[in-house]
Chain A
Amino acid sequence: MSLAVAARRRFSSVDWRDPNTLTYVGLGFLALIYPTVVYLINPDQGPALVSQAADAGVFVVMALGLNVVVGFAGLLDLGYAAFFAIGAYTYGMLASGQLALSPIGHEVHLPFWVLLFVAVLVAATCGAILGAPTLRLRGDYLAIVTLGFGEIVPRVFRNLSQFTGGVNAISAIDAPVLPFWIDGPWDGGASFAVVQNLKFTAGEPTAYYVLMVLIIVAVVVVIRNAQRSRIGRAWMAVREDEVAAEAMGVNTVNIKLLAFAIGASVSGFAGCYFGAKLSTVSPENFTFLVSVTILLMVTLGGMGNIPGAIVGALVIYFVQYKLLSDLPHWVASAASALSLSQHATNVATDYATRLNFVIFGLILAVTMLLRPQGLLPSRVRAQELQRGTTDESVFDASAT
């Protein structure tokens, strides 16, 4: 009974006027119905679409993590994919035949559920190791150091080929196995797609999808609680004015390190999942472009706002990996519908392929012009752009 009371109290404390609440509810609802709807509408493509949604989730998780670093604490991290790589390689090396070829000499197959947390720890440690000497730097300088780190890490994995397989990548990585062989009533011929055959196999991605939704929920809960705590306020204060934050008694180096380590561990989490789902990890998966894409997701979604990061990641993922990659195909079918000559069709398709990034850039530029605060800005950002700040500078730059 007391549980019901507690639940009701918790429920009534939810602020329904907060647009974020509505976004969370909307996103949760979409996540629930998505597999069923997809299987109903398009049974042939169903598994592929659910699988893609799970891949998009990897970016959602990373955007959530980078949002802590860039959005909350204001630390520009241009090498965020490095931690993603570290997470993925941690899983790849410790859950495949790879290490048999290394000086260690025998295969290591640890369970996914353990490595998920090992990857988080390893990534957080690397984040702290990178952060400790560099977080004394500010702004642009920090960005350059992280950029360097983002370039170094994939190269280390490429050249440490004894352990990582180098350019040949690690392949045949173990798929996760449900603990205790949970098979349950959903195993088998039930028609309800969400709970059908919940096993981690490539052809049946529902289990990956469900796992990803659970990961996102967990990450959102942790980050949201951090944001609303004293720590979250300290992050914002450091972002706004580091000297003033120090004058308030904030240990700025530690608080920045914490943001960095949390961001890194979330990325490591995503990397571990990514390695498990793709079952292969190659240094090419973690280029600078990945770091930039995640930064774009956070900025376009609404810097410093959790639902913003989620929506930004989904939108950019959709545009980049669905809309633009299908574009040549659409152009080709449009051309044949207009019964153009084969040559004209080829030319149009060719252009659509080549102009891919131009179109992507245009979409980004237009979106940022129309909504500079991002798709779902935090309340503070919205207020800032709505009211404008006073003409007087809030702090005196010459005093530093």
Chain B
Amino acid sequence: MAVLEVEGLQTYYGRVRALHGITLHVDAGEIVALIGSNGAGKTTTLRTISGLIRPTEGTIVFNGRSLADVTAAARVGQGICQSPEGRRLFARMTVTDNLFMGAYARSDKAGIQKDLDRVYELFPRLKERATQIAGTLSGGEQQMLAIGRALMSKPKLLMLDEPSLGLAPIFIQTIFDIVLEINASGVPVLLVEQNANKALEIAHRAYVLETGNIVKTGTGGELLESEDIAKAYLGM
């Protein structure tokens, strides 16, 4: 069953069309990767789904309900959660406060506490730094915090934007392991990555974007072996 269905999505930045009609879907329990070169529209797609940008055309249906009139804030309440590109942590707030912000749309205190413990279990590093402000963390720790914060919203769909950006290889592996772990707990993941190899390794399915269009789709394994992939994500 499809958790998220996007059809014919068109988005403009001013007069520039960034998305030329994106159609994709995410099924329950899947990891779906969006790959492509710079400026292909990956981030724009995520931001449109999370409601930070309004599409001019197209529909987004989440768990059977249209999101056309739902604000970004309300979409979080429905369970769509984005860990934004560049992490966008609250730099001068403590690690704990950042995590609590992730749970802003929730009101079940006990559940929030349980999820906080779970995030600390996933990322023991964050627990050590609980009272430190986010701006003083290293890049890898910040990425952990960004993912942890997204998990705190108890997502029914987790959207990760470039989780491996700017990280040391050892951290990249950790982050991808954790994405797999989160997915194993039943949360579908929509993953945007420039690191196409890594993304395709863990993704069930993937879409290849090029200048606002989906040019190819398939399972992670198929696309890994495809020669077009190198072309698409190098942007040639």
What separation, in Å, do the CA atoms of A245 and B97 have in the docked complex?
12
What separation, in Å, do the CA atoms of A384 and B134 have in the docked complex?
10
CB distance from B145 to the nearest CB of A (A): 10
B43 close to chain A: CB less than 8 A: yes
User: Judging by beta carbons under 8 Å apart, are A392 and B50 in contact?
Assistant: no
Number of interface residues of A (CB under 8 A): 31
CB distance from B197 to the nearest CB of A (A): 23
For this complex, 11 residue pairs linking A to B, each with C-beta atoms less than 8 Å apart, are: A236-B93, A240-B90, A244-B88, A247-B50, A247-B84, A248-B76, A380-B93, A388-B136, A389-B91, A399-B43, A399-B85
B64 close to chain A: CB less than 8 A: no
B residues less than 8 Å from A246 (CB atoms): 52, 72-73
Interface string of B131-172 (1 = CB under 8 A from A): 011111111001000000100010000000000001000000
Interface residues of A (CB under 8 A from B): 230, 233-234, 236-237, 239-241, 243-251, 380-381, 383-384, 387-390, 392-396, 399
Most chain-A CB neighbours within 10 Å: which of B50, B87, B90, B91?
A: B90
A residues less than 8 Å from B90 (CB atoms): 236-237, 240-241, 244-245
B89 closest partner in A (C-beta): A394
User: Judging by beta carbons under 8 Å apart, are A390 and B139 in contact?
Assistant: yes
Of B98-106, B173-181, B182-190, the one with at least 4 CB within 8 A of chain A: B98-106
B77 close to chain A: CB less than 8 A: yes
What separation, in Å, do the CA atoms of A251 and B70 have in the docked complex?
12
Given known A-B contacts A230-B104, A244-B88, A237 and B43 have beta carbons under 8 A apart: no
What separation, in Å, do the CA atoms of A387 and B136 have in the docked complex?
7
What separation, in Å, do the CA atoms of A241 and B43 have in the docked complex?
18
Chain B, range 53-108, C-beta contacts under 8 Å to A: 71-74, 76-77, 82, 84-94, 97, 100-102, 104-105
How many residue pairs bridge A and B at CB < 8 Å?
Answer: 115
What separation, in Å, do the CA atoms of A244 and B136 have in the docked complex?
18
CB distance from B58 to the nearest CB of A (A): 20
Most chain-B CB neighbours within 10 Å: which of A239, A240, A392, A394?
A: A394
B residues less than 8 Å from A247 (CB atoms): 50, 52, 72, 76, 82, 84, 88
User: Judging by beta carbons under 8 Å apart, are A250 and B89 in contact?
Assistant: no
What separation, in Å, do the CA atoms of A240 and B133 have in the docked complex?
12
A residues less than 8 Å from B136 (CB atoms): 383-384, 387-390
B residues less than 8 Å from A381 (CB atoms): 92
Given known A-B contacts A240-B91, A248-B105, A396 and B139 have beta carbons under 8 A apart: no
CB distance from B98 to the nearest CB of A (A): 8
User: Judging by beta carbons under 8 Å apart, are B102 and A394 in contact?
Assistant: no
User: Judging by beta carbons under 8 Å apart, are B76 and A396 in contact?
Assistant: no
What separation, in Å, do the CA atoms of A153 and B114 have in the docked complex?
50
Given known A-B contacts A230-B104, A394-B91, A236 and B97 have beta carbons under 8 A apart: yes
User: Judging by beta carbons under 8 Å apart, are B135 and A390 in contact?
Assistant: yes
What separation, in Å, do the CA atoms of A239 and B90 have in the docked complex?
9
Which 7 A/B pairs are nearest by Cβ-Cβ distance?
A: A396-B86, A249-B76, A249-B105, A389-B135, A240-B90, A244-B88, A395-B88
